[in-house]
Amino acid sequence: MATADLAPTPVRTADTPFSNEPFTDFTAAENKRAMEDALARVAGELGREYDLIIGGRRIQTTGKIVSVNPARPAQVIGIHQRAEADLAETAMQAALAAFPAWSRTPVAERAALLFRAADLIRERKFEFCAWLTFEVGKNWAEADADVGETIDFLEFYGREALRLDHAKPPIQFPGERNQLRYIPLGVGAVIPPWNFPFAIMAGMTCASIVCGNTVILKPSVDAPTIAARFMSLLEEVGLPDGVVNLCQGEGPGFGSAIVAHPKTRFIAFTGSKAVGLEIHESAAKTQPGQIFIKRTILEMGGKDSIIVDADADLDLAIEGVVASAFGFNGQKCSACSRAIVDQSIYDVFCDRLQARVAQIQTGDPAKNVYTGPVISPKSYNKILGYLEIAKSEGRILNGGSPIENPEGGYYIAPTVVADVSPTARLAQEEVFGPVLAVIKSNGFEDALSIANNTEYGLTGAVYSASREKLDRARQEFHVGNLYLNRKCTGAMVGAHPFGGFNMSGTDSKAGGPDYLLLFTQAKSIAEKIGHASPADEKQSELMGM
């Protein structure tokens, strides 16, 4: 496989300090021009056709997946081959063939590949931002955060792999040389979502391969082009054939076949609760010829709450609620979809929230408008269904309707629904769109009870000036990611390991120090050194060693 000439990658070790990629300031004239130039360049590349890549081979199929711009659906972003279930075996054999050599590749070499990829993405940041804007409707800041998180995952997981490679058992037993090695699992299925189609897709993929696994990558049908562009970059930095096998396809067909395959060792999935539970159930069923228990690494969404206490800084709280609820149109598993507000400040909070949301502009994300379209007709119609439910479950303060536009984009007005019961559908079901339910609470005890009354447990936040209440929330607010006096979105790699409780998933903690353990298995090795006395031998037998 030919690769481009690459500049030497700066050496990183397990001890090289990690720092998050800085956000881009788009108010700076040079950054604004760079983004506009990138949008123009990428616009000239839209509509091309991409192949499946299995074992390094380019494969075309009769069926196609057509990715379109949700802001103007007539604009085709990319045309992709549709992998059906009959290609699952081909992909598996390619991944199995690549596994022996890749699993024995030194960890330092595998990590260096991630670092090279991070360097290239950093150089092409505006270009990748433009692809995100066109394919999934992210404004410039949201796209930049997605690209920055991708870089962070590569840098962080590369360092973590190097750290694991130097793991040692807690003690050295007398008369032995003891080792603890974290070895790869085998072939894994990586099934990422469309809402963070670069960061989550690349993060799960690279966590898998840096540990020595090989991967069958099935990106979302709503964001296949980002995955294809990333695959091209992996080839450019020298990834061997078959280590990652790119297979765009439908979940019920190709995805289900890969999950059920007896040689699939693990499944890393981010998406809906319903699909995640199907994957978990399928993986739990032992197939003929299967000799291991499959591992599932699942992140399945949430119904996230922000508690606004009576003594909260209202300016801070309103900005945090608005950013958490309507950033990227609420299409984040971490988004605030419930504001739980103390009754003593409820009316003034609702009035000020209504005024703030009325200031939000919605439009084409390529023009860097704050909120843009939702991802697809399916999502659009689902959200409209919840807006009908909202009319009977609360008082609509803002929005409540689609936004008509000449381009046919899937726009829905940012919607605030007040006076929602804690047990209403709007307060319990994941909408995954720009819809916020406001719920009145009778004191902090009641607010915590409401916050914990869903089947989910992903993110949450509390705005309060009371140290006692904040400390109580640390203990009793049952979510995987809790934020105090700040918004509940925007987890940063390294600082906020991300993953939730209950039906939000397996608490996988992406971007944290234990994440790579999920893609490895620990092997303890003990070698006797020197000569042991008969008494030592007898004692070892009695101890069961």
- Taking CA 408 as the corner, what is the angle to CA 332 and CA 50, rounded to the nearest 5 degrees? 70
Q: Which of 235, 299, 393, 430 is catalytic?
A: 299
Catalytic residue, candidates 129, 206, 247, 333: 333
Q: Kindly state the average pLDDT of the residues 202-210.
A: 98
86 and 163 co-located in one domain? yes
- HSE toward the beta carbon, residue 515, CA cutoff 13 A: 30
Are 159 and 259 in the same domain?
yes
CA distances from 259 to 59, 204, 210, 292, 303 (A): 21, 16, 21, 14, 27
CA distance 204 to 193: 11
- Count: domains in the chain: 2
Residue 109 annotated among the catalytic residues of the structure: no
Strands (E), 138-277: 176-184, 187-191, 214-217, 244-246, 264-270
Of 18, 239, 244, 15, the closest CA to residue 114 belongs to 239
Looking at the fold, whether 295 and 325 belong to one and the same domain comes out as no
Q: Where are the beta strands (DSSP E) in 400-470?
A: 415-418, 435-441, 456-457, 459-463
Closest CA to 434 of 477, 375, 519: 375
| 398 falls within a domain | yes
Q: Which residue has the tokens 């119904």?
A: 303
Same domain, 91 and 129: yes
466-513: pLDDT as tens digits = 999 999 999 999 999 999 999 999 999 999 999 999 999 999 999 999
What CATH number has the domain bearing residue 423?
Answer: 3.40.309.10
Q: What are residue 305's DSSP bridge partners?
A: 338, 460
Question: Has residue 34 got a pLDDT over 90?
Answer: yes
| Catalytic site includes residue 333 | yes
Q: How many Cα atoms sit within 13 Å of 89 on the Cβ side?
A: 1
Residues 325 and 387 occupy one common structural domain: yes
Residue 74 counted as domain residue: no
Query: Are residues 208 and 322 both part of a single domain?
Result: no
Angle at 189 between CA 232 and CA 88, to 5 degrees: 85
Same domain, 236 and 355: no
Give the model confidence (pLDDT) of 155-189 as tens digits: 999 999 999 999 999 999 999 999 999 999 999 99
Distance CA 458, CA 8 (A): 40
In a domain, 540, yes or no: no
475-491 burial, b at 16+ Cβ within 10 Å, e below that, comes to eebbbbbbbbebbbbbb
Band of residue 542 on the pLDDT scale cut at 50, 70, 90: very low
> 398 and 456: one domain?
yes
Q: What is the pLDDT of residues 452-472, one digit of tens each?
A: 999 999 999 999 999 999 999
Domain residues for 144?
Answer: 32-66+81-300+505-523
Let me know the angle formed at the C-alpha of 340 by 336 and 343, rounded to the nearest 5 degrees: 155
Note whether 94 and 140 are same-domain residues. Answer: yes
Residue 408 confidence (pLDDT): 96
Structure tokens at 55: 């074992």
Q: Which of 152, 103, 161, 91 is nearest to 125 (CA)?
A: 152
User: pLDDT-derived band of residue 1, with 50, 70 and 90 as boundaries?
Assistant: very low
In a domain, 137, yes or no: yes
Per-residue pLDDT at 60 exceeds 80: yes
Residues 282 and 373 in one domain: no
What's residue 281's pLDDT?
98
Identify the pLDDT of residue 52.
Answer: 98
pLDDT digits (tens, 9 = 90+) for 343-363: 999 999 999 999 999 999 999
